[in-house]
Structure 1
Amino acid sequence: MKTTRLTLAALIGSTMLTTAVFAADVPEGTTLADDQTYTYRVLDEYDSLDPQLLEGVDSSTVARDLFEGLYNLDAKGDIVPGVALSHEVSDDNLTYTFTLRDDAKWSDGKPVTAGDFVYAWKRAVAPETASPYAWYMELMSIDGAADIIAGEADPDTLAVKALDDTTLEVTLSKPLPYFADMVAHTTVFPAPKWAIEEHGQDWTRPGNMVSNGAYVLTEHVQKERLVRERSDTYWDNDNTVIEKVVALVIGDENQALTRYKAGELDKTDIPAGQYPNLKEELPDEAYAVPRLCNYYFSFNLSDQGPEAFKDERVRKALALAIDRDVIVDAVLKGGQFPAYNFTPAATNGFEMPDIDYADMTQAERDQMAMDLMNEAGYGKGGEPLEFSYLYNTSESHKQIAIVATQMWKQKLGAQVTLDNQEWKVFLENRGNQNYDMARGAWCGDYNEASTFLDLLASSSGYNDAKYSNDRVDELLTEAKSSHDTTPLYTEIEQILAEDMPVIPVYHYSVNMLLKDDLKGWPMENVMQKMYSKDFYKVAE
């Protein structure tokens, strides 16, 4: 871990002050473009714009423009002031006291207060809210969160209080070295109680939404476009350069590429396999940089899942038969990293574990896969293995699915039916275990290995496999307060490699096209959490 960012305040038990970091950092002498509109492509409609209800990466990107939490992330991924200027930690590392700026305002002109955070956090854990990220509040070790989420206590018992309008106090149930990092997450953004009570679920519509970020929502056409424009009540509006941000929903990656080349987009994703050619064609606009995300296949291990998947030999055989080099080098071609464990190597403080099958040749993995399948009584010469694979609509997801299922068919005789669904339906079915095997992917909510490994805790709200291992749960709990997490995380990864509740496929790199007149993109932040207020466009 980076001591200065993750553990300094906990170690010294005193005020952690951060230097003032403002919006766009425009070098002296820069000539700005007349049109400061940033337009980019998204794959699908947003699951929600409500900070306590959203769960997707694209939704979070919008939320970071519309709202602001206690802390933000800078271009390198370090926490910097947001609504909070600093915090103090008690000697026992259990009480965090945040000092809020007094010039933060909502878009309707009301001041942002500590009470707005208290309301939002209690809302996030309340069972009636049904927040898909309620479990995150428990991971933060906020005292009382676990009992509230379980329905055994009232949300008002959550240990978060407003000492006054600019002082927020949070009490933890146990020390958590990276707690300050976790408050940059969208789930713990403040919420306007009055607007929510007046408009109900319609409070996130243009005209109804009250927000405290650098931008306000001005237009939202479902499955077409979303527009946010500069907020004149934002505390650092004078240093914000981008006037308007337009997100266009374009489901087809190649159509998006065509529109990018036509000048309609400032940023788009590079279609699978096209990075090498585009890097040659547009060397100053094509990027491939590491990103703190993993891509995996999730087994349904619940009672309603396939009987064959209850056998770890079948799960391991399917994992072994995947030739990850083919997927990253021949299909994706964008600098992705073959994955044989769950946590990406780019994670702060994480040491890559020794995983037995990672060191084998693919021929050795294939032979082991066939042997395991035969032992389990499935595949060639045994009972036919048939299952469906669920993924959300995307050309790259489709290509990966086709290649993987062909490998399983050729090597193991498996017959796999592909089932693609639009994002919201996909999330619902995967979350309710209405699948056999499903695509999974996770981008770190903060830069520490637990943001990945906690997904496979028995209690995790995103444990869509419904995997449960007492030893994994024990190790994850121990890691929360350990000064040396490496042996704990190594053992967890090795258990996962044996149990194989999910199949790690690759670790991400960002493959994108970015117009060279758009500046301020956080290339050095492996979490790739960006804020439009940090961007600016230069004159050509």
Structure 2
Amino acid sequence: MKAKRIVCLLLALVMMFSVVGCGKNEPTSSNADNGTKTNDTGNTTKDDPKEEKLADKQELTYSVSSDVLTMDPAMASSTPNWAGQALVYENLVSVVANETGGTSIVPGVAESWDVSDDGLVYTFHLRKDAKWADGVPVTAKDFEYTWKRTFDQATGASYTWMVEGVIKNGAKVYAGESPLEELGVKAIDDYTFEMTLESPSPFFLQFAGFPTYCPVREDLIAKYGSEYGSTPEKTVGNGAYILKTWDPGSSMIYEKNDNYWNKDEVYLTKVTRQIIKEVNAVAQALLANEVDIAGLDNPQWNAVVDATGIYNVNEMPSPAIENFIFNCADPIMKNQKIRLAISLAFDREKYNDEALEKVDIPAYSMVPLCVSVGNLNYAEAVKNENEYVKVLQEQNDPKKLLLEGMKELGLGDDPSKLEIHYMTRGTTEFSKKTAEWMKQNLETNLGIKFVIDMTEWNIMYDLIDSGDYQIAQGGWTADYNDPSNFLDNYHYKDGYYGEAKVRWADDKAIEYAKLIDEAKLATEDQERAEIYAKAEKILLEQSPVSPQYASKVRTLVGKYVKGYYVNPLTYPNYVGVKLLSK
């Protein structure tokens, strides 16, 4: 996710809904070759239906802090929009949370798919009983239109950038150098959809299930134009629910879609998305059991609400990382030893305890703990060797590194004369508090003069683009579940934070980029994980960036809510969810 959106997205992630912690991402029952699953929804529960007594009313309410801005998938670019649309639209495949806290890719509109031997052509076989909410059949032509609309510059789609280098001719089409007809998507017939890639992508199915690329109908776009998705009346999906009412800033109400192909697994007749912005109001709603699911992590309220015994309390890492960004072209920050000294001197454990009030997770890798490589949890697959900052801290004395770096630059041997500027990403009280903690910590541990430049987030990014900075506050939230979503950023040629921003382009940067390119071609999950870990060791030792902490999500779910599994890299569609009698 483009980092300029990190501020609002981190706030949204706090209110994401999760039932289990991140763990091993083992498939529930899958066949990776053809997409066959024993459970089409990925959301069934182990409970024996004969022993369950369902509540008379199957109506669920969950609270969030942010509004949905559009119900047009192509125009969505943030977590609140994607989560709000997930009940209404269904893609070729669905990326769903499973009981282990991991994710599974299960059939959506496509009941199965084939992949060519060279990994370049995906052929999706669509269900013949898939319908739009108004009863019109969903066809391969709808998907062909949707993908071409996404690549049409006139549409102004928000997330074409993520796949423009993935789909055959995508970059040329999006740049206007080739016609839309040459985009690598094609409806072979009404129920066969073919997609051709530029090169093999081991995580392509996550793109095939990404919210922005959910299908829309050409006739409805022609009818409503830019107003499509602006009201319930101008929104027609193909998912489990229909948007019935939409009161911006207040609530959205969804009702069961009787034309959904898997309607027998849709137990809830109504789902209400209630906006509650204030923490106190969320707590009061939970105490009164006015909501069934909500995010709450507040020292004042946690124990009080937990004591009611109404909810299961669940915590898990989010797919968001906060980090230092170093300008490797700066006269001082160009020195690798000085960058590494700052990275190693920063006390992540104390920072979390004191500045963050123990609500987050100290980070020693640029990839959050919940991220997977295929069916393997990345950190577990490499035996936590990706947390290489820990090793570097054991092997090095930060103060010694600093003095060596200063000597190499001819800056003498007095750290107190070394002035280093740090730009905040925003001017909030939180930004000020955390920056002041960093100042005290690094000045104590290194003896340097750490200068805080309070900077609005948009101005900070402009200064990064122009190269006018030494250290800045970075952050990244994953769009899909793979280390590449984080590590590709620092590829000196192709990364978002490549040579143009962090200005890291030396021999080590080239070595790192080669490993990132190599990982994209690896076909085995374990092999790919090991390549990423090898690349990350270079990244963390060279320190063009340095991890600080990963966010954490704390969610309360009514004990009577069954079949609800969430990973923060998925968006619940509420298929298979049911309410038991209290």
Task: Tell me the TM-score normalised to structure 2 length.
Answer: 0.77
**Would the aligned equivalents of 2:344 and 2:389 in 1 still touch at CA under 8 Å?**
yes
Deviates more, 1:451-460 or 1:184-193: 451-460
Percent identity for Structure 1 against Structure 2: 26
Supply the distance in 1 between the matched residues of 2:498 and 2:303 (Cα, whole angstroms). 38
- Does 1:520 pair with 2:539? no
For 2:389, which of 335, 347, 357 is the aligned residue? 357
User: Which range is displaced more, 101-110 or 236-245?
Assistant: 236-245
Per chain length, whose mean CA-contact separation is higher, i.e. which structure has more relative contact order (CA < 8 Å, sep 6+)?
Answer: 2
Letter in 2 for 1:323: D
> Shift of the alpha carbon at 1:309?
5.8
1:339-359 deviations in Å (ceiling 9; x for gaps): 111123442343133665313
1:235 and 1:148 mapped to 2: Cα distance?
Answer: 34
Question: 1:268 aligns to what?
Answer: 294
Residue identity opposite 1:38 in structure 2: L
In structure 2, relative to structure 1, the CA distance for the partners of 1:498 and 1:428 (3 Å cut) is closer
Structure 1 residue aligned with 2:78: 56
Equivalence map 1:454-493=2 (5 Å): 454-457=488-491, 458-460=493-495, 466-467=501-502, 469-483=509-523, 484-493=527-536
Contact 1:65 1:214 in 2 (8 A): yes
Paired residue type of 1:55: S
Structure 1 pair 286–479 and aligned structure 2 pair: CA distance change class (3 A): same
Cα distance, 1:324 vs structure 2:
1.8
What residue in structure 1 maps to residue 168 of structure 2?
143
Which of 303, 325, 346 in structure 1 is aligned with 2:349? 325
> Structure 2 CA distance, aligned partners of 1:517 and 1:400?
39
How many aligned positions are there?
527
Distance in 2 (CA, whole Å) between partners of 1:512 and 1:132 is 29
Q: CA deviation at 1:82?
A: 0.9
Letter in 1 for 2:205: A
Alignment of 1:228-243 (within 5 A): 228-243=254-269
| Paired residue type of 1:517 | Y
Does the CA-based 8 Å contact 1:292-1:444 persist in structure 2? no
Contact 2:68–2:84 (8 Å) recurs in 1: no
**Equivalent residues of 1:390, 1:435 under 8 A apart:** no
Q: State the distance in 1 between where 2:395 and 2:309 align.
A: 37
Write out aligned runs for 1:87-486 (5 A): 87-138=113-164, 141-206=166-231, 207-271=233-297, 277=303, 281=307, 285-291=311-317, 293-297=319-323, 299=325, 315-329=339-353, 336-346=360-370, 347-348=372-373, 349=376, 350=378, 351=382, 352-353=384-385, 357-359=389-391, 367=399, 371=403, 381-382=416-417, 384-391=419-426, 403-404=437-438, 406-408=440-442, 411=445, 412-418=448-454, 437-443=472-478, 445-446=480-481, 448-457=482-491, 458-460=493-495, 466-467=501-502, 469-483=509-523, 484-486=527-529
Counterpart in the other structure of 1:17: 36
The RMSD of aligned alpha carbons is 4.1
AA of the residue aligned to 2:183: L
State the Cα deviation string for residues 76-96 of structure 1 (Å, max 9, x = none).
222222101001222333222
SS at match of 2:581: coil
Structure 1 contact 97–170 (Cα < 8 Å) conserved: yes
- Asked if structure 1 preserves the Cα contact closer than 8 Å seen for 2:276 and 2:282, the reply is yes
C-alpha spacing 1:473/1:356, structure 2 compared with 1 (3 Å): closer
User: Which deviates the most, 325-334 or 510-519?
Assistant: 325-334
Kept in 1: contact 2:423–2:455 (CA 8 A): yes
* Cα distance between partner residues in 1 of 2:532 and 2:59: 44
Structure 1, 168-177 or 323-332: larger mean CA deviation: 323-332
Cα displacement string for residues 301-335 of structure 1 (whole angstroms, at most 9, x for unaligned residues): 599xx886666556545433432213444565778
Cα distance in structure 2, aligned partners of 1:427 and 1:169: 42
Quick one: structure 1 residues 508 and 63, their matched pair in 2 at CA, closer, same or farther if it must change by over 3 Å? same
Alignment map for 1:500-511 (pairs within 5 Å): 500-511=543-554
Aligned equivalents of 2:348 and 2:402: distance in 1?
A: 17
- 2: CA distance, partners of 1:236 / 1:464: 48
Which letter does structure 2 place at the counterpart of 1:200?
Answer: G
Gapped regions of structure 1 (runs ≥ 5): none
The 3 A distance-change label for structure 1 pair 234 and 279 is same
1:440 shift after superposition: 1.6
> Can you give the 5+ residue segments of structure 2 that lack an aligned partner in the other structure?
1-23
In structure 2, what is the equivalent of residue 83 of structure 1? 109
> What secondary structure does 2:538 align onto?
helix
Q: 2:173 touches 2:180 (CA, 8 Å); kept in 1?
A: yes
State how far apart, in whole Å, the 2-side matches of 1:333 and 1:115 are. Answer: 52
